[in-house]
Structure 1
Amino acid sequence: MGGRPLIGVSTYLEARASWRVWELPAALLPAAYPNLVRRAGALAALLPPDDPSYARSVVARLDGVVIAGGPDVEPGRYGARREELTGPPAPERDTWELALIEAALESGTPLLGICRGMQLLNVALGGTLVQHLDGHAVAPGVFGTHTVKPVPGTLYASLASDAASDVPTYHHQAVDRLGEGLTVSAHAEDGTVEAIELAPPAWALGVQWHPEMGEDTRVMAALVRAAS
């Protein structure tokens, strides 16, 4: 493997997907995720939803874990009732990714949550979510851009040199009550939580935006350095 860290990235599990002549159930992930892992200097291994009892064994073979973006977290996971604008659940993915997060935190394996992944990290540690907010998605299937501002003194601020930056974004849910041990490390201009993290010695960072859709590799490169 050329000495490059191996980064596991969680994936979708779709009951029906189409490509070329095929229409079958599929585990899938936008190619931008493994592309970003490679650009940051590591190798990507895709982790489709599986039996959660395997999570510790899987994480033990990895140098880092990414929980990717995707569907809304089932509200019952954080003790809430489903609201009208909350999307359909993905129970297999919720269960698998929560097990991966638990295994990564227990083992000290560096962990990065992207969009849904950040929200699920918060839920895994006892936090809650805002089930809908406006202004953070342009249109269905279209990424927008907005500005995020780091919180001084945080891990994310050290990666972003304390400077506000424009990031690719697409979401309608957000962190509400913080999970245990988490710190907010960036906000949007409207006050929405845009990054969360755990204090050292853990290396666990969540970002609400989609770094895989931009040119900036700093967040993924930081995970890869920690995984090295």
Structure 2
Amino acid sequence: MVSSGSDSASDVRRPVIGLTTYLERARQGVWDVRAAFLPQQYFDSITVSGGIAVLLPPQPDPAVAAGVVLDGLDGLILTGGLDVDPALYGAERHPLTDPARPDRDAWELALFRGAEERRMPVLAICRGLQLVNVARGGTLHQHLPEALGTERYRIGGGVFAENEVIVDDGSRLADLIGPGAFEVHSYHHQGIERLGDGLIVTARADDGLVQAFESNGAGFVVGVQWHPEENREDRRLFAGLVAEASAYSEAKRVEPTNEQVTA
């Protein structure tokens, strides 16, 4: 017999969080193909925080696909990866900038813009922060060692550098992880040059480089230049996103339909 009650634990809906992925060459046994790829740390961070992780590989028609996909999500994470195409912010390519990935850029821009229209919670990580900045009309330093004279943010070899950032009191980020000094895992050679429209800096390093921002408008848009998924002892950013996604999901469920409004 199936219960029709609404007070059981099974009725509690876990929010669905979409995470963007790379398309990369993958080898397994006799197979050598391009495949959707994302380190497990990302989706583990969501599942242990109470959400359901869904991977989002680039789509051939991003404008159409983004709307369909977002209708099934409660939150979005724009993940790390290769550099954003400098043509998107009107710059010539630096010799050390990664080759363009137009499929990923177009897909993630469509997802972010669609999420903004829906006021869906967004967490942007490393490349994700840079993409959001570009989407808002900002620009990037293409090689920080030239701009800042330091290799402190990408030491190479697949080893994450450890850096200290200062989180601004009174920010949404401070509400999640606290204000003041905070140790982070870095792996990037690019960073924000000119801040995009409608964004507020909420953390910097001691050399002045922007390390986090949030939107000054309605909704939850938080970007961090570091990799919080690498800190398994601290899931507060992901827990914050999951909480916002839960609220977003609940708001969708109680919104009146057009039929209810006109009845």
Q: Aligned partners of 1:163 and 1:188: how far apart in 2?
A: 11
Higher-helix-fraction structure: 2
> Given residue 172 of structure 2, which amino acid in structure 1 is its aligned partner?
L
Choose from 120, 129, 140 the match for 1:118.
129
Choose from 175, 189, 202 the match for 1:158.
175
- Residues 198 and 217 in structure 2, CA contact (< 8 A), matched pair in contact too: no
Q: Aligned partners of 1:83 and 1:9: how far apart in 2?
A: 28
Match of 1:43 in 2: 52
Task: Choose 211-220 or 90-99, whichever is displaced more.
Answer: 211-220
Counterparts of residues 98-137 of structure 1 (less than 5 Å): 98-133=109-144, 134-137=151-154
> Given residue 164 of structure 2, which amino acid in structure 1 is its aligned partner?
T
After TM superposition, give the deviation of residue 38 of structure 1 in Å.
0.8
Match of 2:165 in 1: 148
Q: 1:154-180 deviations in whole A, cap 9, x for unaligned?
A: 111221221311111100100111111
Provide the secondary structure at the position in 2 that maps to 1:95: helix
> Given residue 43 of structure 2, which amino acid in structure 1 is its aligned partner?
P
Match of 1:5 in 2: 15
Q: Aligned partners of 1:147 and 1:79: how far apart in 2?
A: 31
> Given residue 109 of structure 1, which amino acid in structure 2 is its aligned partner?
M
Give the aligned length. 227
TM-score by length of 1: 0.96
1:179 maps onto 2:196 in alignment: yes
Match of 1:198 in 2: 215
TM-score by length of 2: 0.84
After TM superposition, give the deviation of residue 20 of structure 1 in Å.
3.4
- Residues 169 and 180 in structure 2, CA contact (< 8 A), matched pair in contact too: no
Match of 1:87 in 2: 98
Q: 1:142-199 deviations in whole A, cap 9, x for unaligned?
A: 1111111112221112212213111111001001111110000101122111001102
RMSD: 1.2
Q: 1:19-73 deviations in whole A, cap 9, x for unaligned?
A: 2332111111111110111121101000000121210121111000000000000
Unmatched 5+ stretches in structure 1: none
Q: Aligned partners of 1:39 and 1:172: how far apart in 2?
A: 30
After TM superposition, give the deviation of residue 200 of structure 1 in Å.
4.4
Choose from 170, 189, 208 the match for 2:206.
189
Unmatched 5+ stretches in structure 2: 1-9, 145-150, 247-263
Bigger radius of gyration among the two: 2
Provide the secondary structure at the position in 1 that maps to 2:36: strand
